[in-house]
Amino acid sequence: MSSAAEIEPQYRSDERFGELMVTAGILCEETIQRALKIQDAAGGEGGKLGDVLVAMGECCQEEVDYIIEVQRSLRNGGYDVKKQIEKSSKDVAQHTEELGGIQKLAERLTDKVAPRKCSFQHQPRTRI
């Protein structure tokens, strides 16, 4: 059985955003280099590296937010794996609860818009 220390990437406090993305296993070095070239070509108008990566479709905003949180934690004295796991667990629980509410709402709406059965029964006409 692996311990959390063996599984969790070993971050350094001096790592830049792109390096943290690679260390976390989210992206490879080549992708970071492509994004940096795009950012440089935009002449300062390209936005932050995370924004460029999301626009390229290479990662999602949640991954960018995660790395920003890691980066912030490292600069403030260290990254607490247990704290991050607890936060992630709370986020998952909240989203699961929200999804359950959405599913219940969808079921209620489906019941309201389901086609009603018509009670009219066609009686064939008899010829006179």
Residue 103 domain flag: no
Report the number of distinct structural domains present in the chain: 1
Residue 65 domain flag: yes
Torsions phi, psi for 48 (to 5 deg): -75, 160
Q: CB 21: neighbour CB atoms within 10 A?
A: 27
Q: What are the distances in angstroms from CA 32 to CA 21, 63, 83, 85, 107?
A: 8, 14, 28, 26, 44
Q: What is the band of 113 on the pLDDT scale with cuts at 50, 70, 90?
A: low
What does pTM read for this prediction? 0.53
Q: Please indicate whether residue 5 or residue 24 has the higher confidence score (pLDDT).
A: 24
Residue 30 domain flag: yes
Residue 126 domain flag: no
Residue 26 domain flag: yes
Residue 19 domain flag: yes
pLDDT tens profile 48-79: 899 999 999 999 999 999 899 888 888 777 65
Domain extent, residue 64, equals 9-79
